[in-house]
């Protein structure tokens, strides 16, 4: 089975680099399934889970925005933040979710509303990744 090198980097530094058989992620244009030999592309990412299928099972990451660069033998994810399930603090995510929900209940200007929506999406994504690892 052919494999791809997957490298995930955030402003805080590298998160992981390993070989996988398939990468599934949420690009702005829709779900992307990447196998070895994929045509080169760069695409913006949504807040979502990245699924990495390897020989020993599937790994997941909670990724918050950024870009994916695909080459035939390598996938590089440059994200604002990216966490492995074992690095996610579920209690912190639950608190962030509650905070965002409270902010969304009160009337606010567009920018604050969008900020709260994105904060809610990040928290829900982290909880999804840590609870369904
Ligand atoms: P919070 O309100 O809890 O800070 P946030 O969504 O605003 O959450 P981000 O700005 O996305 O946080 O991330 C800031 C840094 O904190 C990043 O390095 C990110 O990986 C880390 N981080 C955020 N939430 C969690 C969490 N629940 N568990 C582990 N790391 C987290």
pLDDT at 1 exceeding the cut of 70:
no
In 3D space, the residue among 72, 63, 80, 85 whose CA is nearest the CA of residue 34 turns out to be 72
Q: Mean pLDDT in the chain?
A: 96
| Residues 33-50, mean pLDDT to the nearest whole number | 98
pLDDT at 90 exceeding the cut of 80:
yes
Quote the tokens at residue 7. Answer: 């490298």
Q: Could you give the 3-state DSSP secondary structure of residue 102?
A: helix
Query: What is the set of domains in the chain, with CATH numbers?
Result: 4-83 (2.60.15.10), 89-131 (1.20.5.440)
**Would you say 50 and 60 are in contact if contact means Cβ atoms under 8 Å apart?**
yes
Distance CA 85, CA 114 (A): 26
pTM over 0.85: yes
Q: How far out from the chain centre does Cα 50 lie? A: 5
Q: How far out from the chain centre does Cα 56 lie? A: 21
DSSP letter at 72 equals T
Distance 40 CA to ligand 1 centre (A): 30
Substitution site in 93, 112, 117, 121 for ligand 1 pocket (most atoms within 8 Å of beta carbon): 93
Binding-site residues, ligand 1, Cβ < 6 A: 12, 64, 81, 83, 87-89, 92-93, 96, 119, 122, 126
Quote the tokens at residue 14. Answer: 């590298």
Distance CA 4, CA 37 (A): 8
Distance CA 68, CA 28 (A): 11
| Residues 29-49, mean pLDDT to the nearest whole number | 97
**Would you say 69 and 78 are in contact if contact means Cβ atoms under 8 Å apart?**
yes
The residue written with tokens 């949504």 in the block is 46
Distance 57 CA to ligand 1 centre (A): 26
């Amino acid at each position: 089975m052919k494999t791809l090198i997957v490298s995930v980097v955030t402003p805080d530094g590298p998160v992981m680099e390993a070989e996988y058989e398939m990468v599934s992620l949420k690009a702005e244009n829709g779900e992307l399934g990447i196998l070895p030999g994929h045509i080169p592309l760069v695409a913006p990412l949504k807040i979502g889970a990245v699924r990495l299928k390897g020989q020993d099972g599937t790994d997941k990451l909670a990724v918050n925005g950024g870009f994916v660069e695909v080459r035939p033998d390598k996938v590089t994810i440059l994200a604002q933040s990216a966490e492995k399930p074992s690095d996610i603090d579920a209690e912190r995510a639950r608190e962030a979710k509650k905070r965002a929900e409270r902010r969304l209940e009160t009337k606010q200007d567009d920018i604050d509303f969008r900020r709260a929506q994105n904060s809610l999406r990040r928290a829900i994504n982290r909880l999804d990744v840590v609870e369904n690892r």
